[in-house]
Amino acid sequence: MNTDDRAMAILENLRPTSTVDKAWPESDREAALERVLAYSAPPLAAPSRRRRRVLFTTAVTAALLATGAGVATASGVLPESFTQHLSFWTSETNGGVDVDTARRVAQAPGPDGKMLTVWAATGANGTTCVSPMFEAPGDLDRPAPADAPSAGGQCTPVDTQATFGDLGASANDHGIHTVWGAAGEAVRAELRLADGTVRPALPAEGMYFYWYLANETVEAPVLVGYDAAGKVILERQLPNLVTNSHINGGR
């Protein structure tokens, strides 16, 4: 008998007798153990595809968005299933912005009968985080949905100096692009779409938010910004993240 066998024998002798041993014969216990050891858990489902979030000014940098009980806010209770989509606020501000204080601050018509909404919160140090989303229509102060994945966003320190045309963008598998960027000196902004229509940008938290369709067959629109006198201060071709084409400069 080796050392391991002797140790197991000592433990077996020290273990108190259980009524289970009598009611559950050794042969049945061994058969049950074999079934447990033979069991193989099913593989985890593949993670769902998430939007790609891109921040770009002169250069383009790509990043992946990180993807119960709640607290009361002006827009109702924020469920954990909702606030988890804003978790990058916490990581990008080292906890300086509390996602549980998020509120819906603006909205405008979006694609497929939904509304483009903007959620925002500001930390004690003045940093503001924003996230655009697509939600069912309703009043601005309606309760938060149980689940509405973020379409992107960013966190901006209070002393950041940004100009109109500094943008961030994301796109889903259907070519719906969501873009956000600093208002800067632009008091009004609009999109000039490839079909000739014009769509106003949504102002919120010192920024503009907008959406558009772009893919292999639909060209991305042009962003136009105006100053207080109505003069064009920038025209910029927006990116097509489906074909990975964009023009960084403006005219």
Domain for residue 121, yes or no?
A: yes
Report pLDDT digits (tens) over 91-130: 999 999 999 999 999 999 999 999 999 999 999 999 999 9
191, 223 contact by CB (below 8 A) = yes
State the pLDDT at residue 150. Answer: 83
pLDDT at 234: 96
N-terminal to C-terminal alpha carbon distance within the chain? 87
Which pLDDT belongs to residue 78?
85
Spans in the chain with pLDDT lower than 50: 7, 10-11, 14-16, 18-20, 23, 32-33, 35-75, 247-251
178: in domain: yes
Which of these, 111, 149, 146, lies nearest to 132 by C-alpha position?
149
Number of domains in the chain: 2
Whether 59 and 32 share a structural domain = no
**Residue 40 zone, left/alpha/beta (φ > 0; ψ -120 to 50; rest):** beta
Q: Is residue 172 part of a domain?
A: yes
Range of the domain at 197: 52-237
Domain assignment of residue 216, yes or no: yes
- pLDDT given for residue 6 in this prediction: 53
pLDDT number for residue 65: 32
**Predicted pLDDT of residue 32:** 47
